[in-house]
Structure 1
């Protein structure tokens, strides 16, 4: 029972009530019950009499209202006393305070239980947390406060409904961890418009194997968000949907997404933010903009809207975008504040479904991938808050008929060819009309002109000024104008000379905790602030959560997606001005440090979840109760891909503000995710800065760690020039610090460097030295890592039996360590050997186990690779229909991850399978498309198999001379790129053509060359070539005999 088993005050019910020992206490009339609800909602805090009157009587209180307030409070106080409850309603200096344990009020009890459950969850005590959340949910008894109407009651009902949804989401998350999807489904079915609950609903359906229903759930959510908000679901929800689609591919009889033969299906992509429901005051400017867009029909056009902050640039651009949207199949919106052009491209590619790990590192390659992703599509792009033309130019689509809308405070003179629209403050007539709609007042009401002038006729100022009247129903416009004028004069005399008076008024109307949260959010370096980050900066989760609701109510914040908040740049400037005036430098420094601690701790949590065994130097990290954890590697990777641009901005802010420790530490904390997810070019820059930061801190151990990670990134980027020197410097510093256990990791990377340079003998020598050191240290993970790399080089030098043995050792060591993901990575290398040895049943079983692991870990590229392997196996066995399906699935996976090389490899498989099915024209189109992609992206390696497969098409078309040209060109490319197996396959095909032409000596010569190349690594095609030679020799011997 609430309140220690004695008193319950229930406002989560249609009619407020007091229970003492489960017996109801009569508090009187409906007005008295509403007074009770107002005091209970603010339990323990003084409620001004004027506020109580506004909330209970509204705009027209009776003359005797103060007497009524006193009488109702006395009645409640007397009823409680008669029931034997030692509590009181204190009256002090024109305020009333309900003095009772907050847990006696069900609304506050629910929030307290939620906070306790959150702490238990963070400690891993999920069963205890689940019990508290069950108790909290049971406190709701119907829709709250339906007995009352009015602005305050409506607002509180909305907050309670939002709180209930959050609590339900928290309960569902814990329930799914405990493995109860069936129970979760019963409570989640009736919330189709809430993305968080829809995500959990999909997750529960997935756990139950009900993939079709999960897909339908996502479809309903997407239809709702596009219709109501004008945006697609969040990246996290889209990633879950893609995973469910992949799993559904393996469910017999389940629905699968239809895919055209030549290209993966491209759905409409829409991330436009919600349109305003009642667009006002910019009719002339809107028509000018739309006319300009229509005049550019058939070519790519850029339209710049520039003007003061708060003048309504984004609203106008967004409304125009919604008016235009139906003509476009790609509709994207992103905020450019503080972002470089490559960061903008990174975000846009993520919106298109490309995974972070699949986005190229080089700026030119990233632009090329963006252009390829939108080629042949009509793109509507809204780029908000541009600061420089360099942010915009690289992302302008090349597709004809595309439209780019840009908003900026600057005129961006370098944006050549753009059509410009200068947005000025509203004229007085439009400003009055807008404010009248916002406030509900008559346009002729006295004082209207003064108010709109004091708001500078800026839409944002008018909106916030109207919020003052919604809280103060009885105020006339003249009284509001007088109030604003006083604040304007005070601002002109003080430090806030740039602040709008309406901001000051709204700020001062906030309670003390909402002000604190507002100032802390304003100090965040990122445009979008997650709720966990806001709570970390404040230091109190519960008070932050409540304050965020209040800041949304007064339009100081927008909730752009569940748990993510954006502050308008004008409001942010005001928040920073107020922080500078009301907080000491030390207090602001502490807030910034808490923000940096939050990001350091969160990226560390994500990295440890995704890469639990990687090499890292342990350093103390401050973790608050707001620091989120991650349930699985998949969730950690999804969070990182979505959040990396913000993390990058945080590091930049740390550098600007002199927080050198975080410039040094954050990149090392997320080094594992940077290695597996990228973007490698940005990671390389972060590690360059980290090396300098550690040097500045005079920390040789940190410097060595950063040098090592920088070398790893350089290897990923194929920038090998300084890698060995960087690793040598890291080794020397580790020696100096007494960290010899790290040295074999550097030697292993030196081995990889030699292997990349095709010097496998030197690579093997380095691997052996590294292996000896790991064995001396007893580092089982290091031993497993080196055995995998050693096996790859041994395989390249013809030591197949030893390579197979070392792959097995590596895999078994990872399994013993409990790292199934790395074991699967090694097994993928082993699959190639088993397939090459003709052990197809074993290879198939191994591949399917890897696919299961990769799905569990959210490794999209791993899943695509296993589907590609399955296609290779089916194609070799002549099961071309199954091969076609597998290669198509792989192609979709590589495409969604942005892995162009992988997608082209799968196109080769699709083309080969189509050829095997007799669909020659389709095969030709698919392969030519792949060749065009390879040339667009300047990729040499996949050109050889594409040309060879096109040679097979020409042979099937009886165009043998063209086929020979294709095979010769493919052979040359293979020789230059070291693709020995493909070179051998080309020689085999050339031998076949020579045989058909009757040139037996040339045929034997080609086949012999094929054998030499194919013998280097196990391949099932080697015996086919040997059989041709034996048969030809037999026939020739028979002829001689």
Structure 2
């Protein structure tokens, strides 16, 4: 801890505008001795040295006595007793309140009301990330309430985050006591006691800005009286036991108003301003920097700055003015951690760099543990420390998030502090873990013959801690938001791993009906396999790309990839892959109305499936043929192929596949208005699923039966089927199946003349799909807009 003598000597020298060399020349004390005294290496100089320094600094009687006391080992001198506090000392130390301060209306009102209404000492800590506007808000609040605190306002920058060490509590108390007209004692307990005494009869505002932690502040608080204390810090102040006020980003309209005011462009287009605010992550300091840049460049349109900010590689450069700006502010938080004696703080610095390698907007302890090669509980402890200093937020328990600009800073920090080898090792460890879990999910669903043959069993290692299907799916649900960006990034640094994960994801994405995610991962890896030596990988990626388009009802867009998939499959020589791609292409052609074109592909798929002796593959081809012939009006041919498809799956253990075939047959008949045949097939499918114990599929078929009853006008029966399906979907937690059923149930309620109930079902369905980023939200919004 820095000695009080060192702090006092440095303060008096600085106030006298003397360098150490100049003080040496005036006092006759060597520069080396003065430097040693100011560093605190020598704590108790000789009285003659103290006297020489006091003379040179032209100290008053009280100042000379305080310096002598600080130099005494006993903290006592022959100085006169300190004077009684003078009621005339009424400091007015609040810094200038910025004239371009904008917004924070609610925060100003809440904080002001709390400070004014508190009958005794009130302590409020405003916390938040660097640049969020804590000090600016605190200064405005203090000015707002100043008239209610007639004994003045004290302000002290505790230098918790900045150049140089934070103020020691004794040094801070020395400043505060002198500002109140008190003579500061030489030891901390006495100084704290005298400060509390000085404030006991006063009613003033004390603004302690930029605190390092709660320990720095604890001795600076009044004990009694009517003072209002406002503390600002990037760290949590929970240890003080005071009221914590976490400051977040202001609402968009306030941010736009702030940008316009600072830039001097009151009429700047709202959409362009909103884009600049978005690129600034809503951070007030960044918006201030952006506004200042626009103000100094009157020829720049706001849209031009938005375009420049869109380049993440130079975004922090655009938000920097001289030595101040977003980058400098965030670096201070890292430096404060790095300079700490707490090992968790030091670990947090390393973790911050590693988090810069993550592509996911949402972070988990699992991800942090993989990147840092540490146990998950330890990683979580370090993440929570980053939350404490507001470099991370935690939107929900167990999940963490980097602010957009903090993410950019973390990436820069990773590039500066980690070698290319270390960065690659960390990300490889994570994506290897993802690959293991992805293929474990595929294993539970049944890989399919081609994927089984292509799979390397080594890829499954690393997921043994997830013993059940629910564990695997739960893990993927947690990490889902990061899968697409992780694969997109891996295509650059780990292309082989990127392809392996993408091909394995089909089972999980199909189960969750995450068709857009499926489309994006296959688009990302396509260039890695297109025309390459691994024709099976090329065929699978092209097939999955086309299938994803088809699931999104983008049938025209699906045709091209599926034609290329057939070509890659032919070159691979893998008959099962050929049959898969041919069947999918025939289905897409049928959906685009080109039934005649689709029949030859389905015929060929059927022949390959029969020749290879793979009943499910041949059955799917027969199903496709039946659907094609039904569209051409060849009902007998269609029924013949439907019957053949079901007949291929009579062996025990194939009930689930047979149920899927029967379900698709029923849907085809319903779309062809052959309701009796549709009902028979759907009921057959329901019975087969029950035999197979396939609960969720039962819910899906019950929904299809509800749609059939809806088409026939049997509305009460439709509700019965859909209610049963809802119960099953809810029991097994299949949210997307629930959303599908609620959509149909809403359509039934609409026809029953019960529009409020219909809208209720559609709102729930929309909420579910939005929550899980699922396809079909636009259609539900259209339904909700019905008059």
From the CA coordinates, give the structure whose radius of gyration is larger: 2
Q: TM-score, normalised by structure 2?
A: 0.49
Q: TM-score, normalised by structure 1?
A: 0.38
